[in-house]
Structure 1
Amino acid sequence: MRRPSLLALTLLFGTSIGLAQTTVETIAEGLEHPWALAFLPDGEALVTERPGRLLRVDPQTGGRTVISGTPSVDDRGQGGLLDIELHPEFADNRLVYLTWAGECDGGNATHLGRGRLDGDRLADFETLFVAEPCVRSMKHYGSRIVFDRDGYLFMTTGDRGERDRAQDLADHNGSVLRLHDDGSIPADNPFMERSDVQPAIFSFGHRNPQGAAIHPDTGALWIHEHGPRGGDEINRPRPGANFGWPETTYGREYWGPEIGPDTLAGTIPPIHHWTPSIAPSGMAFYTGSAFPDWHGDLFIGALAGVHLAHLRLNDGHVIDEERLLTDRGRRIRAVETGPDGGIHLLTDHVNGELLRLAPAAR
């Protein structure tokens, strides 16, 4: 039984199926800037906290255990311990993947590594990949990771706040990277034949992608990324494609003027954008059974917009959007479908929460 002290609210949302009663439960609170979560086969959640802690959280009681063996992180600014993902064959190999902001060569960079979950520790943890060059910056790490159906690992990197890096193919930053599960580079990556390009790059021209998910029907990779003053985007990365930042954007400079045109020949426009910005973070296609009419819908957390965006899709296009949880005033950092069919959320605060969105009892 869940603790009676946990907060449970019944909310009414207009949905494609009419009026739905939905409960929001607080599973755990007092988390310090939680950034990402992944569910273990037994239903427990692994949660990263930006200062560098990895927690195992019991979804029934909210109890937590610190997992040792994690890497040292640079937790200044937007940095720290960031994303987490389980290997597709986790049940057999117990491999857990992490990304983090780590120090290197007088600066820092987005790092990727993995260890084997052995009780309350990550054993044999190793760094697999570093997004080079290292930069003297404390922002725009990107850092979402996801495995596709063929077992390739995709890792997003931000432009580190130095926008021209996103168009520099000799620089990993501002790109989506495609790797094998051991951090090596696939021989069929799009730029393998060019000596002037980092071969891990799959697509480029990205500003700060903090959401990544595989479409449950097509198997395609979808991402979203922060714009500046407006111009947050949803994109579908393609091999070798240029998504335009900073040459083209719907966003503007923070002091007002345009940065570039809305569209530009030779670049791929977004399939959806937000202006003004909602500051998207976290992304999941709903694949559970608790809300059958939401199957395949896209859910995205909003930091500046303090809501959960629910997007309905048709043939790869956004046809409707609603904003949920607007009354709670929470910065939503991560979104995942849980094994129980609930939609699980992390709120990004010093006193952050793990929340569960589920159908209300009738």
Structure 2
Amino acid sequence: MRPAFVAALALCLAALPAQAQQRFKSSAGDLVVETVAEGLQNPWGLAFLPDGRMLVTERAGRLRLVSSDGKLSAAIANTPNVTGRGQGGLLDVALDPDFAGNRLIYLSFAEPRAGGNGTSVARGKLNQADTALEQVAVIFRQMPTINSNMHFGSRLVFDRTGALFVTTGDRYGQRDEAQNPANHIGKVIRIRPDGSVPADNPNKPGWQPEIWSIGHRNVQGAALHPQSGQLWTAEHGARGGDEINTPKAGLNYGWPVITYGVDYSGLKIGEGTAKAGMEQPLFYWDPSIAPSGAAFYTGERWPGWKNSLFVGGLAGQMLVRLSTQGEAVTGEERLLDGLGERIRDVRQGPDGYLYLLSDDAKGRVLRVRPAP
């Protein structure tokens, strides 16, 4: 972006309405949390357009634009039909790396199907009026179809080659299938933007060719490390055992054979916390915070926080900052204690501030900035 445009955009975003401000302590000084937009029904995913406006999904099935003054658009037309029950609905949203030229966006969603539902990804072109999607097509379907309203995943992250990572869940009652590379249950998927399979995928014997890694429970946070370009994920455990992982090609991350959590009944899951041929998490939480959206910080507002991974907590109702060094988590800071919001998504805005989605029937877009 041109420097003059970035400066103008920052001023525009800074002028967004500041409502219901709250102040919190942090290692980098006091933080202010303010409402940018409200009236969203269980917002799930957020993506910034090049002009600073935001695309926000609502789990019930709507895709909305949030303008520079915090106003919500009407629902954008032609989004996919969704299973809007339990944890299902319209989930993540991502822009094509060449959005400025092709206006393509990607949506993950719980797709209703004969006999049940599953995590799917659709691609469509945002029309010039920003009112509808055109040429909508499903480019990935998690198989098999399962009759469940739980554990859909599902974050969307483009890597530096232009391939798309899609995270899926184990559909709750199907957890043993996370170890079966012949299906998409509890996997990280890697596809091309048209749904085809990249030539450098693992493609191991017995593996579906679009599978990148196996042994995942329910990955709802994912981001690329700003220096290495490595995918980092935040993954729900059961009762304890939420994990930060760096999924690599062809590796097994253990669920449900190894875990640092226990079942909700208190009974043991699997064989323990380690097993040959299965990867250890970089970091885990016990008790759980129920991690959701994740973003690495690269801005200038908090120079000491560069390369920190910010993770939203649902059950924990917090924002967690994980300091990193290379491929290691070196510290944890828990932020926004007392905010009282389930944090569903975390993004860095073009102005260098952090933006959060609160998962509530009256959900909000929140901005986190340094206190004056």
TM-score by length of 2: 0.93
How far, CA to CA, are the matches of 1:74 and 1:86 in structure 2? 23
- Over the residues paired in the alignment, what is the CA RMSD in angstroms? 1.2
How far, CA to CA, are the matches of 1:154 and 1:317 in structure 2? 21
How far, CA to CA, are the matches of 1:200 and 1:226 in structure 2? 22
Counting only pairs closer than 5 Å after superposition, residues 66-145 of structure 1 correspond to structure 2 as 66-118=75-127, 119=129, 120-145=131-156
How far, CA to CA, are the matches of 2:331 and 2:169 in structure 1? 28
Q: What is residue 239 of structure 2 aligned with on the other side?
A: 229
Q: What is residue 284 of structure 2 aligned with on the other side?
A: 273
Q: What is residue 49 of structure 2 aligned with on the other side?
A: 40
How far, CA to CA, are the matches of 1:62 and 1:294 in structure 2? 30
Q: What is residue 345 of structure 2 aligned with on the other side?
A: 334
- Change beyond 3 A, Cα 1:63–1:102: closer
1:209 correspondence with 2:214: no
Q: What is residue 25 of structure 2 aligned with on the other side?
A: 12
Deviations 1:278-311 (A, max 9, x none): 0000000012222222111110000011000011
Counting only pairs closer than 5 Å after superposition, residues 120-269 of structure 1 correspond to structure 2 as 120-161=131-172, 162-191=174-203, 194=205, 196-260=206-270, 261-269=272-280
1:306 correspondence with 2:317: yes
> Could you tell me how far 1:187 is from its partner in structure 2?
2.3
Structure 2: gaps (5+ residues)? 1-14
Aligned with residue 65 of structure 1, among 67, 74, 98: 74
> Could you tell me how far 1:106 is from its partner in structure 2?
1.1
The question of whether the paired residues in 2 share the 8 Å contact of 1:300 and 1:335 is answered with: yes
How far, CA to CA, are the matches of 2:22 and 2:151 in structure 1? 34
How far, CA to CA, are the matches of 2:33 and 2:317 in structure 1? 15
SS at match of 1:138: coil
SS at match of 1:91: helix
Aligned with residue 40 of structure 2, among 21, 31, 42: 31
1:3 correspondence with 2:12: no
> Could you tell me how far 1:9 is from its partner in structure 2?
2.4
| Structure with the largest fraction of strand | 1
The question of whether the paired residues in 2 share the 8 Å contact of 1:208 and 1:225 is answered with: yes
Q: What is residue 301 of structure 2 aligned with on the other side?
A: 290
Which AA in structure 2 matches 1:257? L
Which AA in structure 2 matches 1:12? K
The question of whether the paired residues in 1 share the 8 Å contact of 2:42 and 2:360 is answered with: yes
The question of whether the paired residues in 1 share the 8 Å contact of 2:243 and 2:284 is answered with: yes
The question of whether the paired residues in 1 share the 8 Å contact of 2:109 and 2:121 is answered with: yes
> Could you tell me how far 1:59 is from its partner in structure 2?
3.9
Q: What is residue 349 of structure 1 aligned with on the other side?
A: 360
How far, CA to CA, are the matches of 1:299 and 1:157 in structure 2? 21
The question of whether the paired residues in 1 share the 8 Å contact of 2:17 and 2:35 is answered with: no
> Could you tell me how far 1:328 is from its partner in structure 2?
1.1
How far, CA to CA, are the matches of 2:89 and 2:284 in structure 1? 28
The question of whether the paired residues in 2 share the 8 Å contact of 1:279 and 1:305 is answered with: yes
Which AA in structure 2 matches 1:79? G
How far, CA to CA, are the matches of 2:245 and 2:67 in structure 1? 34
SS at match of 1:75: coil
> Could you tell me how far 1:326 is from its partner in structure 2?
1.2
Identity %: 51
How far, CA to CA, are the matches of 1:108 and 1:74 in structure 2? 7
Which AA in structure 1 matches 2:200? D
The question of whether the paired residues in 1 share the 8 Å contact of 2:97 and 2:158 is answered with: yes
The question of whether the paired residues in 2 share the 8 Å contact of 1:252 and 1:259 is answered with: yes
SS at match of 1:13: coil
The question of whether the paired residues in 2 share the 8 Å contact of 1:27 and 1:59 is answered with: no
Aligned residues: 354
SS at match of 1:61: coil
> Could you tell me how far 1:197 is from its partner in structure 2?
2.2
The question of whether the paired residues in 1 share the 8 Å contact of 2:343 and 2:359 is answered with: yes
The question of whether the paired residues in 2 share the 8 Å contact of 1:22 and 1:358 is answered with: yes
TM-score by length of 1: 0.95
Q: What is residue 12 of structure 2 aligned with on the other side?
A: none
SS at match of 1:14: coil
- Indicate the larger mover: 179-188 or 46-55: 179-188
The question of whether the paired residues in 1 share the 8 Å contact of 2:64 and 2:72 is answered with: no
- Change beyond 3 A, Cα 1:113–1:60: same
SS at match of 2:30: strand
Which AA in structure 1 matches 2:69? Q
Counting only pairs closer than 5 Å after superposition, residues 310-321 of structure 1 correspond to structure 2 as 310-321=321-332
Deviations 1:230-260 (A, max 9, x none): 0000000111100000000001011112213
Deviations 1:63-101 (A, max 9, x none): 433211101001111000000000001010000000000
The question of whether the paired residues in 2 share the 8 Å contact of 1:57 and 1:65 is answered with: no
